[in-house]
Amino acid sequence: MIPEIGPHDRRDDGVLGDGVPLPNTPTGSTGVYDVADGDMTGLTETLRRRPKLRVVVIGPLLLVVLYWYGARLAPLTAQFDNKDFSHLWLGGRMVVSGHAEDLYNPETQELVYRRSNPAGESPRVWTEHFREVGCFYYPPPMAWFYALTAWLPLATASVANAYLNILLVLALSWWLSRGALNRPPWSAVCLAFLASPPFFENLALGQNAVLTTAVITAGWALCNKQRDFAAGVILGLLTCKPQWLLAVGWIPLAHRRWRILAGMLVAATALNLATMAAMGPGPFVSFASRLIELSNMYREPGYVLALQYSGLSVFRKWLGLGAWADWLGWGTAVLLAGVTWSVTRGSWRPGSMEFRRLWACSLLVSLWINPHLFQYELLMMVPILVALVSDWEGLTRREKAVAAGLFIFGYVALPWDHFWRFGRLLPVPNVAMLASWTFLVWLLSRHRSTYSTANAGPLDAVIR
């Protein structure tokens, strides 16, 4: 009588149960495969077992990058008064100066800026476009958030924002390594973030992609610890950036994680009510009245489509602005989400290898969905790429080569696109997204077939 493979039977030599070889197990693999949770030691285990690699290579590189950002680039942001941070700071300044009621009034925005500027000049970014729509486009809770540093002069607040972003990267690297992924070394994850081109652009422009990535990563980590409601509360903070709330919200909805959705609803409601209590209903009424105008900003002449990398932007680059481009952009987003759901059904098993790949694959779709995905928002690619290689020993030799190639491609995609004159015809970051998504879909499909074979019993596995 041939015994069936139990849900927790494991071997260290690439076989399951009573000697049945695990399909696609790489020769000489030392990884341990668990039928129940799909977990397998990998590249992260190699790094943990080689402390000299972390001390001699990763550690010094991390210190060099931190020194360069902290001592060189961060102080320079004081001179970037025409960059994106001036918009965000002005939103907070409107609150601390007592003009929250006129948060979205262009004339009041210019007045507040001129009073805050020692020279009494208008913002250097103040073109005719901003005189019509203003320069703060976020919901009122985001102005409340930036009010925490807006009491400082613009130059000082800009430097403080840069240092806060660096500290936040250190924190989110910890959440990612200890909560969401297969415990890769914190120093390696931190270096992966700091060395990414989108982080450089985020810091130079004073944008908030680090905050967005931290919120999503924290939600991912809490889901991995089976704390769905808490994860929803964290993800509900994305109400400050509604485009990301739309892009990420489909993940718990597709997998019917009602506690996550409930947490998101509670957090979004509480945050908006607290902001309304502090600022009054006026800013919300103004934001709602201008929401359509703000959502159609991409039609403005000054809108830089070349720096957009959403699915919508791809077709707008090819077909121009119009209904056809929008239909195709949203249609491909639905298609990608549908395929992702089909290969991840039943894979919501926190702590497993397939759960990590589920989130990585789903977040690639979220990047495609986000209608206003600028270059600095590509920072979200970092945890996806780290997840791609974190379960190294679960890959065959060819798959390892593909994973390594995609990891490198994901890092060079943005600078490549900046210097490549054919970026409008073939946006390189979008190619990297779709290539990584295709590879993850393949891995998830392969794992589903392997898991079915393993649970069928040794005799069925041999027959198949």
pLDDT computed for residue 56 by the predictor? 52
Whether residue 387 sits in one domain with residue 261: no
Whether residue 278 sits in one domain with residue 378: no
Q: Which structural domain range is residue 195 located in?
A: 80-295
Whether residue 165 sits in one domain with residue 253: yes
pLDDT computed for residue 3 by the predictor? 40
| Greatest pairwise CA separation for the chain in angstroms | 89
Query: Do the domain assignments include residue 168?
Result: yes
For residue 348, what are its two tokens? 């919501």
**Can you tell me the distance from the alpha carbon of 393 to that of 406, in angstroms, rounded to the nearest whole number?**
17
Whether residue 352 sits in one domain with residue 235: no
CB-CB contact of 261 with 232 (8 Å): yes
pLDDT computed for residue 217 by the predictor? 92
Query: Do the domain assignments include residue 23?
Result: no
Query: Do the domain assignments include residue 390?
Result: yes
Query: Do the domain assignments include residue 30?
Result: no
Query: Do the domain assignments include residue 75?
Result: no
For residue 71, what are its two tokens? 């001592």
pLDDT computed for residue 27 by the predictor? 38
Show the CA angle centred on residue 320, arms to residues 319 and 322, nearest 5°: 95
Tens of pLDDT, residue by residue over 219-244, are: 999 999 999 999 999 999 999 999 99
Whether residue 340 sits in one domain with residue 257: no
pLDDT computed for residue 450 by the predictor? 59
Whether residue 139 sits in one domain with residue 278: yes
Residues 6 or more apart from 444 whose CB is under 8 A from it? 343, 344, 347, 354, 357, 358, 361
pLDDT computed for residue 82 by the predictor? 64
Whether residue 213 sits in one domain with residue 318: no
Whether residue 325 sits in one domain with residue 253: no
Task: Tell me phi and psi for residue 31, to 5 degrees.
Answer: -75, 155
Residues 6 or more apart from 13 whose CB is under 8 A from it? none
Q: Which long-range contacts (CB under 8 A, 24 or more apart) does 67-70 make?
A: 69/162, 69/166, 69/194, 69/203, 70/163, 70/166
Whether residue 88 sits in one domain with residue 228: yes
Q: Among all chains, which residue has been given the structure tokens 């000082």?
A: 156
CB-CB contact of 180 with 356 (8 Å): yes
Whether residue 258 sits in one domain with residue 161: yes
Query: Do the domain assignments include residue 21?
Result: no
Whether residue 216 sits in one domain with residue 125: yes
pLDDT in tens, the chain (464 residues): 434 333 333 333 333 333 334 444 443 333 333 333 334 344 555 555 555 555 556 667 777 777 677 777 777 777 766 678 888 999 999 999 888 888 888 888 888 888 887 666 666 666 666 666 778 889 999 999 999 989 998 888 999 998 999 999 988 888 888 877 777 788 888 889 998 999 998 988 889 999 999 999 999 999 999 999 999 999 999 999 999 999 999 999 999 999 999 999 999 999 999 999 988 888 898 888 877 777 666 666 556 666 689 998 899 888 888 889 899 999 999 999 999 999 998 889 998 888 999 999 999 999 999 988 989 999 999 999 999 888 887 788 899 999 999 999 999 999 898 888 777 788 999 999 999 999 999 999 887 665 544 444 443 443 33
Among 295, 324, 345, which residue terminates a domain? Answer: 295
Could you give the number of structural domains in the chain? 2
Whether residue 454 sits in one domain with residue 352: yes
**Can you tell me the distance from the alpha carbon of 78 to that of 74, in angstroms, rounded to the nearest whole number?**
8
CB-CB contact of 65 with 194 (8 Å): yes
Query: Do the domain assignments include residue 67?
Result: no
CB-CB contact of 458 with 20 (8 Å): yes
Count CA within 13 A, CB hemisphere, residue 166.
20
Among 295, 322, 354, which residue terminates a domain? Answer: 295
